[in-house]
Amino acid sequence: MKNPKAVSSDSRTTALGTDKIRKDFPIFSQNIHGKPLVYFDNAATTQKPRAVIDALLFYYQTQNANVHRGIHYLSEIATSLYEASRVKIQRFLNARESKEIIFVRGATEGINLVAHSYGRTYLKRGDEIIISGLEHHSNIVPWQILSEQTGAVLRVIPVSDKGELLLEEYERLLSKRTKFVAVGHMSNALGTINPVKKIIQMAHHWNARVLVDGAQAVPHLPVDVQDLDCDFYVFSGHKIYGPTGIGALYGKAGLLEAMPPYQSGGDMISYVTFGKTLYNTLPYKFEAGTPHIEGVIGLGAAIDYVLGLGLDKIETYERELLAYGTKALLSLPGIKIIGTAKEKGCILSFVMDGVHPHDIATILDRQGIAIRAGHHCAMPVMERFGLPATARASLAFYNTRGEIDALIQALKHVREVFKT
């Protein structure tokens, strides 16, 4: 492997100010197995900037209290910070109203909330739900369970050899039986960015509701839920440089208002007697129990941080980095990239002739390079490509061309190890 000092940016990768940005992330000041950390597992979770860590620390040291309950100074501070984060997310997604933002544990819980509350209320036997062949398990299993419980039928949009959704096939699947469409904005296994606006328009033509799983998209692309006209949009805070255990569900107010609560208990009520309970208004109707207050505050800090860098700049930088990484990977003999869609986010999923992806990941780890290997919780995608697993390098704005070069050197080393 090259000198670890090579793991830095060069003049072409500093448009975003990567050298400076990396200093915002304390985790990069350490070595892993004696090598500088090269973190290429951003699709699994991202690293946290000092601004987020400090917001969490400051909250616990000076602001900790429960929200929406206490009539005391700290509770008022905590409540105002909590609600300020909701407004940040509203603006971030360009939702019409802050009450359309529901705090959840992450994308998975957001999808489950909709499948449970909307799905069980409005879907019935014979109705059809369309998902795509690119989905993460979190956007498959809740719809499968819903189908089993309601008698609705699950249909799947097929995927091309490049990893793109076949929209002609989608068109054929749509009918007056279609009541719900759930698709990912960006595939975690391949990086494909789906034409969600078009997918939504086509579904709305048949009066079907649409949920977009934005877990992989929001860290990389500007998202405007009003422009997309999606009915629901979900994402996870930890994939956008925020804490784990917190995320958001956007839903159109009219739909959320017409849906029953998902969970029940404190905060989601306005009046309780043993005979009857009146539910709270939006968004609280869907936020039962003491919420993940510091998570919400940390997520707000993460959004501020990302917006401070500028999503347009991030997108441009990451696109260049992906192109650089793609070219570099393809220069290696015996490597095949899985997922070559025209519209693609910064994910490099690949296989190497004669080497299992887990072996690649293990050898890379010894070089301080973190990638993910496996099915990426998207087994049907692996099946589509006839593979048990891929190796996946998922990039972020703090990654550099120098780090890609280190990855390439390490992959050459893997090849050497498996030659002997």
List interacting residues with ligand C6P (CB under 6 A).
43-44, 106-108, 136, 138-139, 184, 188, 213, 215-216, 236, 372, 376-377
Q: Tell me whether residue 377 is one of the annotated catalytic residues.
A: yes
Least separation in angstroms between residue 305's CB and ligand C6P is 19
Query: Which residue, 27, 35, 29, 30, is CA-closest to 6?
Result: 35
d(CA 286, CA 93): 19
Nearer to ligand C6P, 16 or 182 (CB): 182
Burial class from Cβ neighbours inside 10 Å (0-12, 13-18, 19+) for residue 209 reads buried
- What b/e string do you get for 210-234 counting C-beta neighbours within 10 Å, with b at 16 or more? bbbbbbbbbbbbbbebeebebbbbb
∠ Cα 322 326 331 (to 5°): 150
Nearer to ligand C6P, 41 or 405 (CB): 41
Find the farthest-apart pair of alpha carbons in the chain and give their distance in angstroms, rounded: 75
Least separation in angstroms between residue 287's CB and ligand C6P is 17
Nearer to ligand C6P, 106 or 119 (CB): 106
Encoding tokens for residue 391?
A: 């190796």
Least separation in angstroms between residue 152's CB and ligand C6P is 21
Nearer to ligand C6P, 377 or 379 (CB): 377
Q: Of 6, 56, 87, 377, which is the active-site residue?
A: 377
Least separation in angstroms between residue 242's CB and ligand C6P is 11
d(CA 351, CA 342): 20
356 CB neighbour count, 10 Å cutoff? 15
Encoding tokens for residue 365?
A: 């780890």
Nearer to ligand C6P, 252 or 376 (CB): 376
Q: Confirm if 102 and 256 have CB atoms less than 8 A apart.
A: yes
Q: Confirm if 282 and 271 have CB atoms less than 8 A apart.
A: no
Least separation in angstroms between residue 118's CB and ligand C6P is 18
d(CA 23, CA 35): 17
Residues belonging to the active site: 377
